[in-house]
Amino acid sequence: MSLLESPIVAPVATPTAATQTVLPPDVSAADFDAAIQAMKQAIGADNVHVDVETVGPYYDAFPVTDDPTDFAPSGVAFPGSTEEVQSIVRIANQYLIPLHAFSTGRNLGYGGSAPRTAGTLLLDLGRRMNQVLEINPKYGYALVEPGVSYYDLYNAIQEKGYPLWIDAPDLAWGSVVGNTMDRGLGYTPYGDHGMWKSGLEIVLPDGDVLRTGMGGLPGNNTWQLFPASYGPQPDNLFVQSNYGIVTKMGIQLMLAPPDALTFQITFDHESDLQAIIDIMLPLRINMAPLQNVPVLRNIFLDAAQVSKRTDWYDGDGPIPAEVVERMKKELNLGYWNFYGTCYGPRPVIDTYIGMIEEAFSRIPGAKFYTTETRPQSPDDRGAHTLHDRHKINTGIPTTEEANVFHWIPNAGHFFFSPISAPEGADALRQFEMVKKRADEFKKDYCAQFVIGLREMHHISLLLYDTTDSAHRSEALNLVRTLIDEAAAVGYGEYRSHNILNDQIAATYSWNDNAQRRFNERIKDALDPNGILNPGKAGIWPARLRGRGL
């Protein structure tokens, strides 16, 4: 499913496009034209475009700078097969045209479909490479092309009537391949998407094709069953990197368990955070009784699902405490709200639910609900997220969380996503650090702690008005400040917006930036002409090194 064909209402922001073609670095207009002509020859004139009307919608929907050319693509191509991707890559090598391949072009809050380097040619794989190639109900896996969204995969499974679950992120309009290869997360027991991929087909920067794992063995029936093969396993080298273009991916799927029950626990006070996380850890670390990836959300995030900011408060700056109290009362929510799901035969669920309720009831004021005890109802807006999380946690795609884009006018957001230990003290320190700065910068902070197994992703959603230049630069300054403050105390980000790549990569500075130096060595070996996505994740090819921010 391509960005442009999405049946889902896109976020409200309208990207601002450059008015003429932005050329790649060090490429003349004549060479660029020759490359485009060669690509049209290779995959059809209808599938390569440089006009503003076609290219405009691929700009970042949440622009963060005033100059629309900062992250401007030069054009867009729609390859229809692995072979066509290979052709484009070979031509790009000849003319030194940088390429940025993406799947559905979402990646909201991290740069959308915009490239890191201005003048990069986009490969919208979603337009024509969007087939579910196989679904195996017995072994529980699918083999998909990049353009397959979580909705597409879900629908394909439902059409066959297979008892398989997908594991979708909060917004299911994204690509399965795109999310997984950018280190995305979901919320079922299969929430660590990278762990459940099995088998990649990758076009390398020189146009060669690699199949990883058992895909190397002709005649195998295990490509999607066993991700390794013999010798090193390079799959994760292609996660969040610029070393290749994934054209097929296997994803393992959970079989629907006998039953599932989702719970919501509400906690009154900001200061409960530390106790919540400390009680949570021993319940989660053994994958039971907390069997899935639970989330802890502050009230702004839940309120934004069912209301606008102006419904509660008209002023600028932080929302006052008495307004927060009114929100809690009217929505029957806590300042913190914790969601998770138990799975299995009913006796197992009942055992686990009992253990969870008992553990958290130690926090004064905690209230425990399940999808059975707090039914969905128009009169109970605070039940909205409970039932939406139940869907997400049981393999049903939704895009309800996009309601957050209506919290303020023209809302865009930055994600600031540090990793920390699943420790109350760490959670509290991060919360206070971000909230203090967000208050200073007058940005609402929708907090979410997503608990893997031994680590938390603190996904901070920092909202700003994308049409307001001052708002944009404040948001950017806020995140830049947070990245440095977090790194100074040992918290690192796992994913970022294009504009922050170099800053974040630089925080991984151990042994004279050994990680960056290693990444560059691999880059130069696989992509000597520096074609693929220069600057992605702070990895620049030799010919453009030093162009980082």
Label residue 30 exposed, middle or buried (CB < 10 Å: 0-12, 13-18, 19+): exposed
- Residue (231 or 378) nearer to a second copy, CB: 231
Residues in contact with 337: Cβ distance below 8 Å, sequence separation at least 6, in sequence order: 264, 265, 266, 267, 296, 297, 298, 299, 302, 385
In the complex, minimum distance from the CB of residue 64 to a second copy, in angstroms, rounded to a whole number: 19
Tokens of 8: 């889902």
CA dihedral of 65, 66, 69, 75, whole degrees rounded to 10: 80
Q: Report helix angle 29-43 to 82-95, nearest 10.
A: 160
- Residue (78 or 190) nearer to a second copy, CB: 190
As a whole number of angstroms, the distance between CA 343 and CA 233 comes to 32
As a whole number of angstroms, the distance between CA 64 and CA 61 comes to 9
Interacting residues with a second copy between 320 and 379 (CB under 8 A):
344-345, 347-348, 351-352, 355
**Contact indicator for 42, 89 with CB cutoff of 8 Å:** no
Please confirm, yes or no, whether 335 is among the known catalytic residues: no
Residues in contact with 285: Cβ distance below 8 Å, sequence separation at least 6, in sequence order: 422, 453, 454
In the complex, minimum distance from the CB of residue 95 to a second copy, in angstroms, rounded to a whole number: 23
Q: Which of 107-115, 218-226, 316-324, 459-467 is the region at the interface with a second copy (rule: CB under 8 A)?
A: 218-226
- Residue (390 or 457) nearer to a second copy, CB: 457
Size of the site for a second copy (CB under 8 A): 97
Please report whether residue 189 would count as binding a second copy according to CB under 8 A.
yes
Please report whether residue 313 would count as binding a second copy according to CB under 8 A.
no
Interacting residues with a second copy between 162 and 181 (CB under 8 A):
none
In the complex, minimum distance from the CB of residue 345 to a second copy, in angstroms, rounded to a whole number: 6
User: Of 26, 134, 208, 311, which lies in the binding site for a second copy, with binding defined by CB under 8 A?
Assistant: 208
In the complex, minimum distance from the CB of residue 206 to a second copy, in angstroms, rounded to a whole number: 9
**String of DSSP letters for 422-435:** S-HHHHHHHHHHHH
**String of DSSP letters for 171-185:** STTSBHHHHHHTT-B
Q: Which residue out of 58, 95, 110, 352 is catalytically annotated?
A: 110
- Which x/- pattern, by CB under 8 A, does the window 260-299 give for a second copy? ---------------------xx--xxxx-----------
Helix H or strand E segment including 438? helix 424-440
Please confirm, yes or no, whether 508 is among the known catalytic residues: no
Which residue type does 449 have?
F
**Contact indicator for 135, 164 with CB cutoff of 8 Å:** yes
User: Of 27, 306, 421, 544, which lies in the binding site for a second copy, with binding defined by CB under 8 A?
Assistant: 421
- Which x/- pattern, by CB under 8 A, does the window 90-129 give for a second copy? ----------------------------------------
In the complex, minimum distance from the CB of residue 267 to a second copy, in angstroms, rounded to a whole number: 22
In the complex, minimum distance from the CB of residue 194 to a second copy, in angstroms, rounded to a whole number: 8
Interacting residues with a second copy between 489 and 548 (CB under 8 A):
489-496, 504-505, 507-511, 514-515, 517-519, 521-522, 524-526, 537-539
Q: Which of 146-154, 240-248, 319-327, 464-472 is the region at the interface with a second copy (rule: CB under 8 A)?
A: 240-248
Cα-based distances in Å from 417 to 109, 332, 377, 458? 11, 28, 33, 5
Please confirm, yes or no, whether 154 is among the known catalytic residues: no
Q: Which residue out of 211, 326, 494, 547 is catalytically annotated?
A: 494
As a whole number of angstroms, the distance between CA 60 and CA 367 comes to 41
As a whole number of angstroms, the distance between CA 50 and CA 21 comes to 7
- Which x/- pattern, by CB under 8 A, does the window 452-491 give for a second copy? x-xx-------------------------------xxxxx
Please report whether residue 81 would count as binding a second copy according to CB under 8 A.
no
Q: Which of 23-31, 65-73, 83-91, 225-233 is the region at the interface with a second copy (rule: CB under 8 A)?
A: 225-233
As a whole number of angstroms, the distance between CA 117 and CA 121 comes to 10
Residue 101 phi, psi (nearest 5): -90, 140
Please report whether residue 416 would count as binding a second copy according to CB under 8 A.
no
Query: Closest Cα to residue 431, out of 410, 412, 416, 411?
Result: 416
Q: Which of 69-77, 168-176, 204-212, 372-380 is the region at the interface with a second copy (rule: CB under 8 A)?
A: 204-212
Residue 244 phi, psi (nearest 5): -175, 170
In the complex, minimum distance from the CB of residue 344 to a second copy, in angstroms, rounded to a whole number: 6
User: Of 231, 314, 378, 470, which lies in the binding site for a second copy, with binding defined by CB under 8 A?
Assistant: 231
In the complex, minimum distance from the CB of residue 513 to a second copy, in angstroms, rounded to a whole number: 8
Residues in contact with 225: Cβ distance below 8 Å, sequence separation at least 6, in sequence order: 139, 141, 198, 214
Q: Which residue out of 106, 374, 437, 495 is catalytically annotated?
A: 495
As a whole number of angstroms, the distance between CA 276 and CA 137 comes to 38
In the complex, minimum distance from the CB of residue 140 to a second copy, in angstroms, rounded to a whole number: 6
Interacting residues with a second copy between 124 and 163 (CB under 8 A):
138-141
Please report whether residue 226 would count as binding a second copy according to CB under 8 A.
yes
Please report whether residue 212 would count as binding a second copy according to CB under 8 A.
yes
Please report whether residue 241 would count as binding a second copy according to CB under 8 A.
yes
Tokens of 532: 């693929």
The end-to-end CA distance of the chain, in Å, is: 33
In the complex, minimum distance from the CB of residue 62 to a second copy, in angstroms, rounded to a whole number: 20
Residue 540 phi, psi (nearest 5): -105, 140
Please report whether residue 420 would count as binding a second copy according to CB under 8 A.
yes
- Which x/- pattern, by CB under 8 A, does the window 30-69 give for a second copy? ----------------------------------------
- Residue (105 or 535) nearer to a second copy, CB: 535
Which residue type does 301 have?
L
Catalytic residues, which ones?
A: 110, 494-495
